[in-house]
Chain A
Amino acid sequence: MSATQLLGVFLAAILTENYILCKFFGICPFLGVSKKLDTALGMSAAVTFVMVLATAVTWPIYTYVLLPNGMDYLQTLVFILVIAGLVQLVEIILKKYMHRLYAALGIYLPLITTNCAVLGVTMLVLDKGAQDSSFGYAASLVNAFGAGIGFLVAMVMFAGVRERLEAADIPQSLKGLPITLVAASLVACSFLGFGGIVDGLL
């Protein structure tokens, strides 16, 4: 795959295939952690990190171990355990050797195991690879990174929207989550506008 195509994959993962607003992955942290800007940033950084790492590990496992041995039906089971183990491992390594990074990302790491965006990205890049043989390891990694950045963009945008919601006068039964979802609907509307823009750009 050429560099332009990789850039296309990256931009598409951020804008047209945004994991939160277009594919509904990772709604829990989107609604839960987007209240403040700094937690939103920390969570998205941790998600991006784990997404790239998980894809880097699960892609070779699937392509070179599971698929040639006819064990691709074990994908779900193997991937979730690999991701859970990986997150634990990263946490231990960060704690021991990179204390500042651990202080910044540490509390978010255990939350990520059950984040469907991470499991989703590892499976979706394999689906894409099955449909288009040029979509290899590099493209998968770029896609995972783009998905993480897309997650960050959506979280940060939404944190801004939510700060405004705090001051608004809202009907009693809409208070809390319902109005947050309606706001998310409007933010998702704005992302619909990106449809087709990546193909036109490159």
Chain B
Amino acid sequence: MSEQKPLYREFTKGIIKENPVLCLVLGTCPTLAVTTGVKSALGMGAAATIVLVCSNSVISLLRRVIPERVRIPCYITVIAAFVTVVQMLVKAYAPSLDKALGVYLPLIVVNCIILGRAEMFASKHPVLPSALDGLGMGVGFTAALVLMGTIREVLGAGSWFGLRLPLAGSHPILIFLMPPGGFFVFGMLMAAANRLNTRSRRHTPESGCAACPMNEACAKAHEKKECT
């Protein structure tokens, strides 16, 4: 029983405490691009979660085989293989989703969340915790996407999941569906997350930036420290 608790935590930490989008600020490109509606946000989240769980498990299995120096290309190959699988599945069974996500579906391969988890977690832990970590991060990513999708779709189109809403539907604010609305909603959500974090005085989560090749030139990591 004593082992059950930490395992369970590997799953839950990704949802709120280390939410990949709002706390670690990873994977911003799809977060902004596909959240014009709840449907595409959910589809993107699900696709990324599948890739994350599979690649985390496989990389964790291979962690003793992959040589240290060429690990990043190895990870990218594993991730790209699973992205291709998901891409083909989506094309075959959900063609409308494929159209909605467009080029952002193959771009999951360069999503920093997946490479970041591979480097930070899966390469150092056994299979089961790695899979759970991937699942938790994926669910956290999906939750953040759906939250943003909800705000943007309700305000911008007056509907939710394609269903027309009675009150908001009469005067939709179109700009929330356009790029500026995406940046704005994301900024506001992040400010809210900052406020909640400072209130409850949670420790600053380790950002996934160590894995990112941008780490040194990137000001993002330093900014996170400034604001929390």
Contacts and interface: CB of A to CB of B under 8 A. Distances in A.
B76 A123 contact: no
A178 B187 contact: yes
Query: Which secondary structure dominates where chain B touches chain A?
Result: helix
A186 B110 contact: no
Size range of the chain A interface in the assembly: 35 or more
A146 interface: no
Contacts, number: 160
Nearest to A119: B110
A94 interface: no
Interface in A79-118: 80-81, 84, 107-108, 110-111, 113-116
A177 interface: yes
A73 B182 contact: no
Interface stretch (B12-20, B132-140, B153-161, B218-226): B218-226
Nearest to B30: A24
Interface string B180-220: 11111011101110110010000000000000111011111
B110 A80 contact: yes
Given A27-B29, A174-B191, A74 B84 contact: yes
Contacts of A176: 194, 223-224, 226-227
Contacts of B73: 81, 84
Given A24-B33, A80-B80, 8 more contacts: A28-B29, A31-B220, A76-B106, A119-B107, A123-B107, A173-B195, A182-B184, A185-B180
Interface of A: 21-29, 31-33, 35, 39, 43, 73-77, 80-81, 84, 107-108, 110-111, 113-116, 119-120, 123-124, 127, 172-182, 184-186, 188-189, 191-192
